[in-house]
Amino acid sequence: MDPSITAQVATITKRLNTAVDVKPLPRVLVSDSDAYTVASLPGGWVVVSAKMVTLLGANPDALAGILAHEYAHVEDNDALKQMTGAMGADTMVSLTIQGKYTEASNVAVQLMNFSHNMDDEEKADTEGVRIASSAGYDPKGILTAINTLEAVTPLSDAQWLAVHPVNAKRLRMLAGDVAVYAADQQKK
Ligand SMILES: [Zn+2]
């Protein structure tokens, strides 16, 4: 894997870690999945595909925004809630414990086809914007990330959108959150 990709992720992760409200801190892995994906997993793992880093990497605010959204899911333990009862969750956790990260992330990418519900999404949006903003990133980054993903062809490659469904209400609320934190940053 291109070391500049892991370096980019490490730089952002270090800053987000100063703003996240969970212990132990989320651990971020870069996967070689074919899809544009970022996912949170039970146990505080966040997996981002190298493809996603390449897609958003020119705009660190966008990459930070989407990672912060996953950090918010980690804070709420949403992946575990969602996967409780789903076959394979135990397998995945044991793989990550054994350090088989690539294998684990491939399993995870399959499991993460379960969509989050809209309540969890809206909550993760608000908290994600807070995390990105307190880490010093432009809170609009998540909106840029969503726009960029919506332009991906074929759209089915933009796996994050399928798992984190975007609708008009969510976008309206997200824009509201962004405006609050953008105004906050200007005051500082
Ligand atoms: Zn989400």
Per-residue pLDDT tens digits for 142-151: 999 999 999 9
Give pLDDT, residue 87: 44
How would you classify residue 144: left for phi > 0, otherwise alpha for psi between -120 and 50, otherwise beta?
alpha
Distance 125 CA to ligand 1 centre (A): 7
Distance 187 CA to ligand 1 centre (A): 28
Going by pLDDT thresholds of 50, 70 and 90, the confidence category of residue 49 is very high
Distance 152 CA to ligand 1 centre (A): 18
Compute the C-alpha angle 14/130/146, nearest 5°.
85
Higher pLDDT, 24 or 112: 24
Distance 160 CA to ligand 1 centre (A): 8
Distance 117 CA to ligand 1 centre (A): 8
Give pLDDT, residue 163: 84
Cα separation, 77 vs 71, whole angstroms: 10
Pairing outcome for strands 45-49 and 38-41: antiparallel
Total domain count, the chain: 1
Distance 169 CA to ligand 1 centre (A): 14
Cα separation, 188 vs 186, whole angstroms: 5
Residue 40's domain comprises 3-187
Distance 74 CA to ligand 1 centre (A): 10
Give pLDDT, residue 9: 97
> Residue-wise over 61-78: b if at least 16 C-beta within 10 A, else e?
bbbbbbbbbbbbbbbbeb
Give pLDDT, residue 86: 53
Round the CA-based radius of gyration of the chain to a whole number and report it. Answer: 15
Give pLDDT, residue 53: 97
pTM for the model stands at 0.85
State the Cα torsion 80-9-164-24 to the nearest 10°.
20
The amino acid occupying position 30 is V
Scanning the structure block, which residue is given the tokens 């054994």?
98
Give pLDDT, residue 34: 83
Distance 126 CA to ligand 1 centre (A): 10
Give pLDDT, residue 85: 45
Q: Residues 54-79: what's their mean pLDDT?
A: 93
Residues 23/36, Cβ–Cβ less than 8 Å: no
Residue 89 has pLDDT above 70, yes or no: no
